[in-house]
Each structure stands twice: as structure tokens, then as C-alpha cells.
């Protein structure tokens, strides 16, 4: 159990209703400080509405929200200067340059120091790989460049928490790698990064923790290892002696699946009573010829499909 002081975001009973429709239902999030936290779920699962409540952009119907140790939205003025966000895609003036857009946004921030504005804008653009396009009008930016400009806006001042909604949307593979590296560097500096995404491959490569939403409810959360371990681990035996392998596995207390006729593989769920090396020894003792043996932990994709009943995009 993580102490409340070690959490960047904590909610309890967080609920949002629009009329009779409940879009977020009793959500209890725990986001550790310094983590890269993936917030996952199919479209319409309540992710964006949850984020909007966390940032005070919409009012919760009920429940409690604590961000960076302070109650929201009561302490909005104290919390938001320490939070950078890119929500529902970036919005900029198309006839202004990237640099001019960031200058305008920074000048609207009552907490920003105008004396350091030019330097901070330049640093933010360089950090997201847009230094070469600082003077180019945003109407000429690609979707990926606009996405990076939105992240640059979130980085105009030192932040304790960064909230990013689909940060790799529209990026090519190189841009995706750059954003992934940027997010990791922010976490290395002690910044908590909260990433809403549906790209499981990205979450697996850059996040330390994750939570899964389904139909407005939180169905799982924890470290990636904890989430993976929540699924059922299987063993796979490659052997020409399928019938003997099934009998041997049953004698070891396992319940092997019915072998597929056209393959030489036998599968069984791995319980906690017998170790993989004991299974191999038992098969050999029973005279089973083993051509291959593996322990297959469920992927995040398999786990999330099981939790939500829907598929996720797993490639860019």
C-alpha cells in the first residue's frame, strides 16, 4: 500500500454523471510520484472525462480528488501552476509560428516570468525536436508536429506533473521514439507523467504503472509486472508424444488443454503448486520426448482484452 504522501494523484469514489448516464463510476486512482503512469481503455471508457475532473476542467458529481497533495478543485490555483497538460489534442493559431503560439500561451499564464519567456520557449521547442520549425507557421505543421508543439507548451515551465492525452498520436516512428525518450527523461528528473493512450506497445515501452478503464469503471491498476501477473500463465510443451505428455501433466496435478490435432504442442495453466523445472523433470521421467518447453506470461494485450472485452491497437 502506497502512502498518500507518495502519490501524485489520488481519487476515491470519483463519479461523473450526465443526466441519468454515469460515465465515470466510483474510480479510485493511485498514481505514484515519479512514475510514468499509463491510463488505458477503449474509446468511451471514461478516460478523458476522468482527466478533465482531475484538472478541474469539469466538476465531479461525487468523490474526492487529490493532486500533488492538495484537494481539487478547491486548491486549483495552487495545483495547476505545477501541472503541464496536453488534453484532447493541441489547439493553436494556424497563422502564427510555433514560437509565436507558445509566446502567446505563456503570456496568458499569470504565473509565468516574462523575463525568461523567450529562453523557455526556445528550450521547449528544442526539447521536442521543433527548434528547426520555430518560425514556421503552424498551418504548415504536420499532425505529429502539432502534437509535439502541444507537449512543448506543457513544458514551458518546470512541472511536477505532466498529463498527456495520446502524446504519440500522428507521429512517425522516429517522432514516437523521441517522445518516448522525452517522457522517460521527465520521469528521470522526478516529474510524474500521466499518459492516456490506447497503444499498448507504447505503454509497455515507456510506462512503469498502468490503470485500465472499462465502461466508466476502473478494472485494474498497478505496476506493469503486477498487471501481467494477474493473468493466467501457461506452459507450452513441444513434443511428438502428445498423449503421454497429457497423462504426465495430469499426474503432476495440472489440467492440460485438449491438444490441437495438427500441432505438436500441449498447453496447460501453470499453477502455484509445481515449478516449471519440476514439470520438465516429470515429463522426462515419463519418457516424453521434449523438443521445446516455454512458460508463457499473458501479454498486456491479452490481459486488457480479458478485462475490457475489447481489443486495443498494439502497433503505431
pLDDT of residue 219: 87
Of 60-69, 124-133, 217-226, 268-277, the one with minimum mean pLDDT is 268-277
Cis amide bond preceding 73, omega within 30? yes
- Of 49, 137, 147, 42, the residue nearest 97 (C-alpha): 137
- Of 155, 144, 224, the residue nearest 186 (C-alpha): 155
> Could you name the CATH architecture of 234-296?
2-Layer Sandwich (3.30)
Which residues neighbour 214 within 8 Å (Cβ) at sequence distance 6 or greater?
41, 42, 45, 307, 308, 309
pLDDT of residue 314: 39
| Cα separation of the two ends of the chain | 34
Which residues neighbour 180 within 8 Å (Cβ) at sequence distance 6 or greater?
168, 202, 205, 206
Q: Beta-strand (E) ranges in 208-249?
A: 209-214, 217-223, 234-238
- Of 219, 230, 202, the residue nearest 297 (C-alpha): 230
Instruction: Tell me: pLDDT of 178 over 90.
Output: no
CATH superfamily of domain region 4-229 = P-loop containing nucleotide triphosphate hydrolases (3.40.50.300)
Banded pLDDT at 230 (limits 50, 70, 90) = low
Distance of CA 61 to the CA centre of its chain: 25
Q: Can you give the residue ranges of every domain in the chain?
A: 4-229, 234-296
pLDDT of residue 90: 65
pTM (2 d.p.):
0.77
Segment 99-105 long-range contacts (CB within 8 Å, at least 24 positions apart): 99/125, 99/134, 99/135, 101/138, 101/149, 101/153, 102/149, 102/152, 102/153, 102/156, 105/153, 105/156
Amino acid at each position: 500500500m502506497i502512502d498518500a504522501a507518495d502519490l501524485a494523484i489520488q481519487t476515491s469514489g470519483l463519479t461523473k454523471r450526465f443526466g441519468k448516464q454515469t460515465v465515470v463510476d466510483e474510480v479510485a486512482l493511485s498514481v505514484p510520484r515519479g512514475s510514468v503512469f499509463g491510463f488505458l481503455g477503449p474509446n468511451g471508457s471514461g478516460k478523458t472525462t476522468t482527466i478533465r475532473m482531475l484538472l478541474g476542467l469539469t466538476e465531479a458529481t461525487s468523490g474526492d480528488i487529490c493532486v500533488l497533495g492538495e484537494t481539487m478543485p478547491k486548491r486549483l490555483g495552487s495545483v495547476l501552476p505545477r501541472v503541464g497538460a496536453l488534453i484532447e489534442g493541441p489547439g493553436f493559431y494556424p497563422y502564427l509560428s510555433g514560437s509565436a503560439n507558445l509566446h502567446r500561451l505563456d503570456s496568458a499564464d499569470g504565473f509565468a516570468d516574462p523575463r525568461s519567456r523567450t529562453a523557455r520557449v526556445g528550450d521547449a521547442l528544442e526539447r521536442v525536436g521543433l527548434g528547426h520549425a520555430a518560425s514556421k507557421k503552424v498551418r504548415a505543421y504536420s499532425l505529429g508536429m502539432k502534437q509535439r508543439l502541444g507537449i512543448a507548451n506543457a513544458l514551458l515551465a518546470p512541472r511536477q506533473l505532466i498529463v498527456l492525452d495520446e502524446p504519440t498520436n500522428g507521429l512517425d516512428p522516429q517522432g514516437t521514439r523521441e517522445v518516448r525518450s522525452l517522457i522517460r527523461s521527465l520521469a528521470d528528473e522526478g516529474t510524474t507523467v500521466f499518459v492516456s493512450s490506447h497503444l499498448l506497445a507504447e505503454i509497455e515501452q515507456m510506462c512503469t504503472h498502468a490503470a485500465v478503464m472499462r465502461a466508466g469503471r476502473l478494472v485494474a491498476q498497478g505496476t506493469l509486472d503486477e498487471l501481467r501477473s494477474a493473468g493466467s500463465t501457461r506452459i507450452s510443451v513441444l513434443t511428438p508424444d502428445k498423449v503421454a505428455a497429457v497423462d504426465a501433466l495430469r499426474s503432476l496435478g495440472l489440467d492440460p488443454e485438449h491438444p490441437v490435432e495438427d500441432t505438436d504442442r500441449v498447453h496447460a495453466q501453470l499453477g502455484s503448486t509445481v515449478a516449471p523445472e519440476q514439470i520438465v523433470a516429470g515429463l522426462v521421467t515419463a519418457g516424453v520426448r521434449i523438443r521445446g518447453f516455454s512458460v508463457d506470461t499473458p501479454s498486456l494485450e491479452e490481459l486488457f482484452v480479458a478485462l475490457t472485452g475489447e481489443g486495443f491497437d498494439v502497433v503505431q
